[in-house]
Amino acid sequence: MKKEWDTIEVLRHARHDWMNKLQLIKGNLSLDKVDRAKDVIEEIIMEARQEAKLSNLHLPQFASTLLTCNWENHFFQLEYEVMDSQTFHRLDDQQLVRWTRLLFETLDASIEPFQENHLSVTIDPHEKGIVFFFDFSGIINDKNRIESFLAEPYGKGMEIRSDGIIDGELTIEVSVVPL
């Protein structure tokens, strides 16, 4: 079950993340690695832009799920990218969040803990809806569990496709049409 974050916990985690980033900049500057410090600053700017794009999708619960994912005890690291678009759709935020949380739970139960497991989410708004690409790479222990999860029909307006699991790689495409 997903943890419900209160304001103080969110601020504590966000402050911790910012302190880590500032320490990276400070450390690189003290080592006279100005170019690396500039790279870290550029990475922070890009991350902030992605957070803004995610927040502007009008999917507050889904955005919260992605923004807080790495603060929870998952066996994978999550990163995301929102493609540029001026198209916004009214989607069923709760349905998308339920499916995403089930995916996270299924992955946690199906992968080798404490390994280099990564989940990348690409969000691509189109005129007919939004396509979400979930790309996992890592050590998968229970392929059948993931395949069973993906075979389940989920709900109206969501089309889920996957080419299956190939050498520790899993790609899932989720197309969601507007309400």
**Per-residue pLDDT tens digits for 63-96:** 999 999 999 999 999 999 999 877 667 889 999 9
Q: How far apart are the first and last CA of the chain?
A: 26
Instruction: Say whether both 39 and 64 belong to one domain.
Output: no
Instruction: Say whether both 62 and 49 belong to one domain.
Output: no
pLDDT, tens digit, for every residue of 39-62?
Answer: 999 999 999 999 999 999 989 999
Instruction: Say whether both 17 and 72 belong to one domain.
Output: no
Instruction: Say whether both 64 and 141 belong to one domain.
Output: yes
Strand order in the sheet with 118-126: 77-82, 118-126, 129-137, 169-176, 158-166
Residue with tokens 């974050």: 5
Residue 2's pLDDT band (cuts 50, 70, 90): low
Q: Which domain holds residue 36?
A: 1-55
Instruction: Say whether both 62 and 51 belong to one domain.
Output: no
Which pTM does this prediction carry?
0.88
Q: Which of 17, 36, 55 is the last residue of a domain?
A: 55
Instruction: Say whether both 43 and 90 belong to one domain.
Output: no
Neighbours of 43 (CB within 10 A): 12
